[in-house]
Structure 1
């Protein structure tokens, strides 16, 4: 049984439920994919059971998220939990391999959207276009970023915003400075 601390609410279960639902998976689908029972998965989603590190690896692979996304992060003080995410307590997300560093700005993944802080390293490129079943809006804070949305090229500068609605897209930062953006993504994908 998971030991809960009132000043540090558990969010792993709620995040897993939100990720599962955003991918259109039922409890049965996910339990089958993990080779576990629906009862076990239900207890994990309700924070009544704590998955092992091996379970977390399998869950992360099934949901296509980095395992670090499922690790506990520094808890907010009780009066801020679910409301405020301090700069030093953001959860890292995504893969750094393509030169993209992302952090979750939302307190958890239980909303209909997520807010993400993205830093695109100089001379980085996602490579092949990506298509996600989402609606996304981004705002470039600093640097420059090249986007291709639905096959159309765009050069984004600080203060510019953009939208992606389930279309293939790719990003490139061929410049010498990092590009920093804030994204709102619905439904949550991380």
Structure 2
């Protein structure tokens, strides 16, 4: 995302300070994202895309728009991301026009350490493809095992961490009408 964020920001003629003001994020954090030192959550990616008047997947991909009218992402294109150990969000659909469903493979961090609660407009669907995770809603925590699915209003504050020894792999679909 780092290179794309910088390219889209500069294309819009925005400074880091202006983008920070538009998104409510700090200039320091945005600088870390642009330098590849921090990986933003889906909620943050949605804020950035809105401020940059871009599709969310444009922040993650340099691929050209497909002429076919569909997007195909092969497993090999996202599988290695799960081996990094840090929280990673990999888009599973790219550049197919305006959509309201945003699918991602998500590899949650192992602890809530620096993980702030997130909330955004829309709905979120989580399917545990591999491993297990703990979902923290603040007043309630759930353990999801491989094969479990969770659907919730994304305006409910939430955060997710890997609870298994092996890195968890989630299919997360965000509905966002923005």
Normalising by the smaller structure, the TM-score range is: 0.5 to 0.7
CA distance in 1, matches of 2:171, 2:124: 10
TM-score by length of 1: 0.54
CA distance in 1, matches of 2:156, 2:61: 32
Q: Which residue of 1 aligns with 2:160?
A: 171
CA distance in 2, matches of 1:82, 1:158: 29
Report if aligned partners of 2:126, 2:149 keep a CA contact under 8 Å in 1: yes
CA distance in 1, matches of 2:90, 2:16: 20
User: Greater shift after overlay, 155-164 or 124-133?
Assistant: 124-133
Report if aligned partners of 2:105, 2:171 keep a CA contact under 8 Å in 1: yes
TM-score by length of 2: 0.57
C-alpha RMSD over aligned residues: 3.7
The alpha-carbon deviation at position 149 of structure 1 amounts to: 2.7
1:82 to 49, 52, 70: 70
Rg larger in structure: 1
CA distance in 2, matches of 1:130, 1:107: 24
1:185 to 170, 174, 178: 174
Q: Which residue of 2 aligns with 1:51?
A: 11
1:124 to 106, 111, 125: 111
Aligned to 2:11, what secondary structure does the other structure show?
coil
CA distance in 2, matches of 1:111, 1:89: 21
Q: Which runs of 5+ in 1 are unaligned?
A: 1-11, 17-33, 35-49, 91-95
Report if aligned partners of 2:60, 2:91 keep a CA contact under 8 Å in 1: no
The alpha-carbon deviation at position 188 of structure 1 amounts to: 6.7
CA distance in 2, matches of 1:104, 1:145: 20
1:104 aligns with 2:64: no
CA distance in 1, matches of 2:168, 2:116: 19
Aligned to 1:115, what secondary structure does the other structure show?
strand
